[in-house]
Amino acid sequence: MNKASRHPLLVSAAALALAAGALYGCKDFLSANAAPQGALDQNTLLTAEGVEGSLIAAYRALDSFGGVLAWGNAASNWVWGSVASDDAYKGSEASDQPPVGDIRDYHWSTADAEGYLNDKWRGMYEGVARANATLRLLKQVRDAKPGEISDATAKGIEGEAKFLRAHYHFEAYRMWGSIPYYKEDDTDFRKANVAPAAVITEVLADLDAAIADLKPAPRNGEVGRASQWTAKAYKGRVLVYSGQWATALTALREVQASGPYALETSFDHVWTGFSSFANGKETIWAYEASANDGEPNGNNANYGERLNFPHSGSPLGCCGFHQPSYNLVNYYVVDANGLPLAITSPGTWNNRTGALNAGSPTVPVDPRLDWTVGRDGVPYKDWGVHDPTWIRSPTYGGPYSPKKNIHENSSGAQSNVGWVNTQLNAVHIHLFRYADLLLMLAEAEVEAGGAAGLVNARTYVNQVRARAAQRAQGCGLPTDATLSKLVTAEVAKYPQCANDTRIAVPINDPSITWATYRVGQYPLAPYFATQASARDVVHAERRLELAMEGQRFFDLRRYGQAIATQTLNDFVNVDKLRLPAPFSGVEAFTARHMWYPIPQVQVELSKVDNAPRLTQNTGW
C-alpha cells in the first residue's frame, strides 16, 4: 500500500462498501442496506451490489455522520452560513463549543477554528473520495464482468457519482474558493489547488456529464437520488455563484419552465417532520434524514443539527445553539403595505434594541418570522408557547430559538433512541429548494434580463411572497399527554387556543392574538424600476425566505466584498450593544474573510519535498 492510499482522500472501495452497509441516511432507498453482512473482500465488491453500496456511501457523506462526525460538517452549514453571518449567534453559552465563537468573531486562524475548518474539509473530501471510489469500482466491475451491470444502469450510477462529486467540490469551493479537484484516476492526494474560476469549470463539467447520463426522473423511482433535473437546477446555481449571469438565466429559465419543481402551497410544508410533506415539489436536493430506522444511536436522524434545539426549559431538552439574531428578527418587520421595512425604511428598520416578542399592540411582521424563529409568547409549532426558560443564556445568545429544523410533536419524526433523543429527528435538510432557485432566477433576470428581466424578477419575487401569505403559526395546542403542563400554560395565556391543535392557519385567523401578520406584493415602481432597486429587493427576499438555512454568509460574499463588509460590520457594531458579552472580542470583517482559511494541517499534508502543494488563501 503506497502512502497516498492510506490518506482519507483515497479511501479504498472496500472501506466505502462496508460503510454503505453500516451507514445509511436517505430513507427512500438506503434503508434496505442497513445491516452489515460481515467482512468484505475485493471479490465481494466486484458486483453490482458492491457498486451500489459504494454509491450509497457517497450519498451518506452529505451529513456530519458520513465519515466525519462533527458539527462543522453538518449538512445545513449552520456554522459557516448562518453563525458567520448576521442571521444567527453562536448561542448556548461561552464555555460550550468555543470554536463556534471564534468563527462568529471572525477569528478564523485560531486552533479552535482550525479544528472545525478541518472537519468541514475532511467531510467534503470524504464525499469526493466516495464518489470517485464508486466510479473506479464501476469500471472494474464492467471490465471484469461485462454482463453484471447494464449500460443503462451504469450510466445512471456514473451520473449520480459525478453529480455528487460536483456537489462536494462546490461545497468546498463555497468555503475556500481555491481548492484541489480530484478525479477518479488521481493516485496522489497531494494535489495543488486551482483558482476559483478553474474549480467552477470542473464543477460544471461534472454537472454536464451528469445531465447527459441521468434521466429526468430519479433512478428506480427512488426520490432521494439525483436526477437530470437535479443536475440542471444545480448547474444554474453554480452559474449564479460564478457570476455567469446570461448563461445562468438560460439554465434557470429552463428549470422554471419545464422542470418538475414548484413552490409548496404554504411555508409550513417546507421545513417539517410530517412524512406526507417529505420530498415535496419544492425539494431539489436534500439530506434526507431518517429516524427510527434501526440505527441504535439515532445518528441518521440529523446528527449535525442536534445542538440546535431550545434548551432544558423546553420539551426538547438541549442545547441552545444557532440562535437567531436581533438583526434577523427586526428584518421581518413590515410596513402598512406588508413590505419589509428593510426596503421601505432602510434607515430605521433595525432601530429596535429590545426583543420583539408577542404583545399588544403588535408590530406587523412577515409570517415567515414565526416559521423561522421561536419568540416568547408565540406558539412553537405544537410544543406549547415559547418562553424565557427555553433559552440557555439570554445575555450570551439572545432571546430567540431556531425553528426550521424542529420537528412537530405530532409528526412522529422524533427519534426514539440516542443521546437526548428529543433533539434528533427526520426533518429533511434542504440543500437547494425551488424557492431558492426561483429567487436566483429573479436575480439573474435583474442582472442579465434587461428591462423585461426587471418585470420577470418582480413576478418571481411576488410568487414567493404570495406563498408566504398563505399560512401563519396557529395555536398548535399539544396533543401529547406528556405535555399537559404546556397545554395548561398555553390555554391560560390564550383561552381561544383551547382544543385548537392547528399548527398552521390563515394569516388573519381570529385565533392569532400574538402577532399581526402582513405580506404585501411589490408594485413595479419604484421597486423594480431600476436594476439597483430591483437587486436590493431580490437580495432582501432571499434573506426573508432562506434565513437560518445556512445560505446567508455565502450570499453576502457573492454579492461582493463591499456589501459583505458593510453588512457584517454594521451588524456587529449594532448587535454588540445588544449583546456585549459574546461580541466583546469580535474583529472587523475585511477582505481576507471573503474566503475561509484552508486548514493548516491540510497544507502540511500536501507537502512534497517539504514544499506544500496547497496554497493558503490570501491574508491567512
Rounded Cα distance between 224 and 143, Å, is 29
Rounded Cα distance between 133 and 137, Å, is 6
pLDDT in tens, 192-221: 999 999 999 999 999 999 999 999 999 999
Give the N- to C-terminal CA distance of the chain in Å, as an integer: 35
Do residues 51 and 20 make contact, with C-beta atoms less than 8 angstroms apart? no
Backbone φ/ψ region at 465: left (φ over 0), alpha (ψ -120 to 50), beta: alpha
pLDDT in tens, 269-307: 999 999 999 999 999 999 999 999 999 999 899 999 999
Tell me how far CA of residue 318 lies from CA of 89, 274, 313, 422, in angstroms: 16, 22, 9, 8
* 8, pLDDT greater than 80: no
Q: Give Cβ neighbours of residue 379 (< 8 Å, ≥ 6 apart).
A: 385, 386, 473, 474, 475, 476, 490, 494, 497, 514
Buried b (16+ CB within 10 A) or exposed e, 223-239: bbbbbbbbbbbbbbbbb
Q: What is the model's pTM?
A: 0.93
Q: Which three cell numbers, joined as nine digits, stand for 536?
A: 436590493
Peptide bond into 218 cis (omega under 30): no
Domains with residue ranges and CATH for the chain: 4-74+86-226+591-612 (1.25.40.890), 303-558 (1.25.40.390)
Rounded Cα distance between 166 and 468, Å, is 32
Residue 64: pLDDT band (50, 70, 90) is confident
φ, ψ (nearest 5 deg) of residue 89: -95, 165
* 34, pLDDT greater than 80: no
Residue 40: pLDDT band (50, 70, 90) is low
pLDDT in tens, 418-466: 988 999 999 999 999 999 999 999 999 999 999 999 999 999 999 999 9
* Mean pLDDT estimate for the chain: 92
Q: What percent of the chain has pLDDT over 70?
A: 93
Which of 413, 392, 384 lies closest to 317 in space, CA to CA? Answer: 392
Please name the residue that has the C-alpha cell 428529543: 422
Confidence at residue 114, expressed as pLDDT on a 0 to 100 scale? 96
Length in residues, the chain: 620
Instruction: Give the H/E segment covering residue 553.
Output: helix 552-558
